[in-house]
Amino acid sequence: MKNFKIKLAYDGSKYKGWQVQNSTSDTIQGKLENILLKLTGSPVDVIGSGRTDAGVHAMGQIANFHIELADDMSPDQLMEYINRYLPEDIAVLSLKEVDERFHARFSANSKTYRYRIHTSKIPNVFERKYVYSYLDAKLDPDLMKEAAEHLLGKHDFKAFCGNKHMKKSTVRTLIDIKIEAIYDQYGLKEVLIDYTGDGFLQNMIRILTGTLIEVGNGRISKDAIPAILNSKDRAQAGFTAPACGLCLMDVYY
Amino acid sequence: MKNFKIKLAYDGSKYKGWQVQNSTSDTIQGKLENILLKLTGSPVDVIGSGRTDAGVHAMGQIANFHIELADDMSPDQLMEYINRYLPEDIAVLSLKEVDERFHARFSANSKTYRYRIHTSKIPNVFERKYVYSYLDAKLDPDLMKEAAEHLLGKHDFKAFCGNKHMKKSTVRTLIDIKIEAIYDQYGLKEVLIDYTGDGFLQNMIRILTGTLIEVGNGRISKDAIPAILNSKDRAQAGFTAPACGLCLMDVYY
């Protein structure tokens, strides 16, 4: 058996997220497993670096799988084979053989997700499916940056966890939050937030983003963040920003 | 009556082109005219700089229309009104009052269209609707550039006209053709062709592009271009490249 590591891009708009649920046809993992079953004749388990929610995109999801590969098929040919059968909204960007112990989830050290908030009064026609259209909203990126400082480091992020029945630890380390404001002739056009952390709870980035948006529009004080963290109460944090603005950018090993 | 000039962006994927045909609901012009009828209570003629074909996109289409505007509505408010009622794949980027003699079509001096050919073996997941996916094809951009030199200037472009029954002059001036080749780790990723001219015949850019692609893949010699022009025979030129790769970038006045 050979162990292959792949890097994937997908437009998650149409999918119920990464992980196979009941049917295999509406998840990214399911699409890949169906193609590898067809190629090898046996069920293949494709291990992702983590789940992405329904509607979330990826430019750099990492996964691995173990298969017997015929001697006359090179890794490049395997990548082309998979891409030929994948739908047009999923693509394998690279594929290579790795050590048999490599595990896309357990071996991951950290990940970067990007959240895009489109704030111009002019809708973004060509990227509308990849941004949260918060049209003509007033956001103060400087307030958002100050609030983000309070989130950095190792914290119990229970207040930012979408799963109320989470029994495992909700302690995570946010290594970096980079906020970029882009302007056009009408003012603030887009706010990009890049989150890098050692792991993320369910909906965590979307709740962090909703909270930062509410700081940016003045509904939550930037100085309220430590109290929200300490409360460990989901109701104290901001809203869950929509999935369409979120994209998994990179996984680090 | 005031004369307003607007700049428009649209994802043409779902539309039957710019110009109203039988129904008004499936063209860009029709969508705009319906909104202005609703606003003013009378039919409004929206004049585009030119038609774009079904499936063709725009980042800088220009149009104008004459309406009576209530004194308490500013041009900015008019733009916001139109954008509020437009579907998410059409947007007004700017709007201003202009001289009553301004006519989006007759006043135009020249236009730039961009054609994008995606040639990487990795599909472009996020821009798949805005490029022609000519996957893993071998194209020589230098041959295409040399062929393009023969097309510059004033010529009878009858061989590059999609309308066999064209009765008016098929003489046009191609002011500039800029070809840019973009590479990634696997080789040629994309070829961008920017065409600037004083006017374009039906399907002309798509036939020019199909011809340049056939030069790039070796099926047509770069030195055959003058003979194709002289033949005035559509059958001598290359195929009509698909609409989805084409975008109207700018109109100059």
3-state secondary structure chain B: CEEEEEEEEECHHHCCCCCCCCCCCCCHHHHHHHHHHHHHCCCCCCEECCCCCCCCEEEEEEEEEEECCCCCCCHHHHHHHHHHHCCCCEEEEEEEEECCCCCCCCCCCEEEEEEEEECCCCCCCCCHHHCEECCCCCCCHHHHHHHHHHHCEEEECHHHCCCCCCCCCCEEEEEEEEEEEEEECCEEEEEEEEEEECCCCCCHHHHHHHHHHHHHCCCCCHHHHHHHHHHCCHHHCCCCCCHHHEEEEEEEC
pLDDT category at B70 given cuts 50, 70, 90 is confident
Q: What is the CB-side half-sphere exposure of residue B209 using CA atoms within 13 A?
A: 29
Percentage of chain B beyond pLDDT 70 is: 99
Selecting from B59, B88, B123 the residue whose C-beta is nearest the C-beta of A123 gives B88
Residue A37: what are its φ and ψ, rounded to 5°?
Answer: -65, -45
Tell me if A126 and B91 make a contact (CB, 8 A cut-off): no
**Which tokens sit at A70?**
């015929």
pLDDT of residue B71: 84
What is the b/e burial string over B25-55, where b = at least 16 CB atoms within 10 angstroms of the residue's CB? eebbbbbbbbbbeebeeeebebbbbbbbbbb
| Nearest Cβ partner for B125 among A9, A123, A136 | A9
Q: Which residues of A are catalytic, by number?
A: 53
- Interatomic CA distance for residues A195 and A180, integer angstroms: 12
B22-32: average pLDDT? 86
What confidence tens digit (pLDDT) does each residue in B128-179 have?
Answer: 999 999 976 789 999 999 999 999 999 999 999 998 888 899 999 999 999 9
Residues of A in contact with B10 (CB under 8 A): 125
Q: How far is CA A187 from CA A137, A140, A184, A193, A230, in A?
A: 11, 11, 5, 18, 35
ipTM computed for the complex: 0.87
pLDDT greater at residue B202 or residue B71: B202
Output the pLDDT for position A24: 62
What pLDDT is recorded for position B166? 84
Topology agreement, domain A2-98 and domain A110-252 = yes
User: Which of A114, A125, A129, A135 is best to mutate for the B interface (most B CBs within 10 A)?
Assistant: A125
pLDDT of residue B195: 98
Inter-chain Cβ pairs, chain A and chain B, closer than 8 A: 55
- When the pLDDT of each residue in chain B is averaged and rounded to a whole number, the result is 95
Interface test with B, best of A61, A94, A126, A130 (most B CBs within 10 A): A126
Q: Which one, of A135, A140, A145, lies nearest residue A176 by Cα?
A: A145
Say if the Cβ atoms of B89 and A128 lie within 8 Å: yes
What φ, ψ does residue B213 adopt, rounded to 5°? -60, -40
Cβ neighbours of B124 in A, within 8 Å: 91
Is residue B72 flagged as an active site residue?
no
**Measured between alpha carbons, how far is B80 from B94 in angstroms, rounded to an integer?**
10
Is A9 in Cβ contact with B83 (below 8 Å)?
A: no
Is the CB of B80 less than 8 angstroms away from the CB of A121?
yes
Distance CA(B130)–CA(B58), nearest Å, equals 10
- Burial pattern B122-146, b for ≥16 Cβ within 10 A else e, equals bbbbbeebbbbbbebbebbbebbbe
Nearest in space to B100 (alpha carbons), one of B77, B67, B70? B67
Sign of CA dihedral A3, A9, A14, A16: positive
> Does residue A33 sit in helix, strand or coil?
helix
As its CATH architecture, domain A2-98 has: 2-Layer Sandwich (3.30)
pLDDT value at residue A135: 79
Q: Does domain A110-252 have CATH number 3.30.70.660?
A: yes
Nearest Cβ partner of A90 from B11, B86, B125?
B125
Nearest alpha carbon to residue A196 among A103, A94, A114 = A114
Is the Cβ–Cβ distance between B104 and B84 less than 8 Å? Answer: no
Give the pLDDT confidence score for residue A136 in this predicted structure.
67
Measured from the Cβ of residue A134, the count of other Cβ atoms closer than 10 Å reads 20
Chain A positions with Cβ closer than 8 Å to B: 9-11, 57, 59, 80, 83, 86, 88-93, 121-128, 130, 133, 136
**Which residues does B contribute to its contact with A (CB < 8 Å)?**
9-11, 57, 59, 80, 83, 86, 88-93, 121-126, 128, 130, 133, 136
Measured between beta carbons, the chain A residues lying within 8 angstroms of B126 are 9, 11, 57, 59, 127, 130
Measure CA B93 to chain center: 17
Task: Output Rg (C-alpha) for chain B, integer angstroms.
Answer: 19
Residues of chain A with pLDDT under 70: 23-24, 136
CA of B121 vs chain A CAs: smallest distance (Å): 8
3-state secondary structure of A95: strand
Catalytic residue among B45, B53, B89, B142: B53
* Every domain of chain A and the residues it spans: 2-98, 110-252
What angle in degrees, to the nearest 10, is found between the helix axes of B141-151 and B204-216? Answer: 140
Residue B28 has pLDDT above 70, yes or no: yes
Residue A190 to chain B, least CA–CA distance (Å) = 15
Give pLDDT, residue B164: 85
Chain A residues whose CB is inside 8 A of the B80 CB are 121, 136
Within 8 A of A93 by CB-CB distance, chain B residues are 122
Whether B183 contacts B119, CB under 8 Å: no
Task: Verify whether the Cβ–Cβ distance B125 to A92 is below 8 Å.
Answer: no
